[in-house]
Amino acid sequence: MSKENKPVPGSELLDRGWHLARTPLEIDVTEVEYALMRSYEAFGRWQAECLATVIEFSATGAENALLHVIRMNDRPKTIHDLAHMTNREDIPNIQYSLRKLIKGGFVKRTGSGRTGVTYEVTPLGHRVTERYADIRSVLLIDAVTRVPDLAAKLADAAHTLELVTGIYEQAARAAATHRRRHPQLDPEAEGD
């Protein structure tokens, strides 16, 4: 057994099985999913707190992410660019976030429905994202450099997450394709 596949000492004392984790592989996948959920929430809190150190503006992690994606490469983005780049389909929520960022003075909308609407950062948005990057470097990047070998593992982690994203996307398409109409589950039914 390789070093990577050896169980963590004491892990046999833990009950890792539940309805989504019935086999060893299901346990591993479920633990990754649970870690992703917790990481996503921690990432959102980090984004909100880092932005709050720059400017007094209440933004969710997703709104903060949109601001930085709009700033990316300093070129305007359409709403479809933003949805594609963030792997989101919730256009009404993206529109709400854009209105909030526009009202805050960080983003401006240019064009029209006829010519095409794009979004770009304002001078304030540029200053805020620059300051955010400075604080991110001091607090986050410095912390990453202090964990032995973590910096070297980040590229592999990003690649693995992209692969897993593709697997989830394919599984979601398959589930949507094969979805059947079914009667409501009877809460009184047992053993079905």
In a domain, 44, yes or no: yes
Q: Where residue 64 falls among pLDDT bands split at 50, 70, 90?
A: very high
Residues of the domain holding 151 = 17-169
Q: What 8-state DSSP symbol labels residue 77? A: B
pLDDT of 117: 95
Q: Where residue 82 falls among pLDDT bands split at 50, 70, 90?
A: very high
pLDDT in tens, 165-192: 999 999 999 999 988 777 777 666 665 5
The lowest-confidence range among 15-19, 81-85, 185-189 is 185-189
Closest by CA position to 58, among listed 100, 93, 102? 100
8 and 28 Cβ atoms separated by less than 8 Å? no
In a domain, 164, yes or no: yes
In a domain, 129, yes or no: yes
* Rounded Cα gap, residues 85 and 68, in angstroms: 11
Domain count across the chain: 1
In a domain, 181, yes or no: no
Task: Looking at mean pLDDT, say which of 29-38, 57-66, 100-109 comes out highest.
Answer: 100-109
* Cα separations in angstroms, 152 against 146, 155, 158, 160: 12, 7, 11, 14
In a domain, 5, yes or no: no
In a domain, 151, yes or no: yes
In a domain, 21, yes or no: yes
Q: Output the six-digit token pair for 143.
A: 């912390």
In a domain, 177, yes or no: no
Q: Where residue 8 falls among pLDDT bands split at 50, 70, 90?
A: low
pLDDT of 7: 66
The CATH number assigned to the domain holding 156 equals 1.10.10.10
Q: Where residue 2 falls among pLDDT bands split at 50, 70, 90?
A: very low
pLDDT of 1: 42
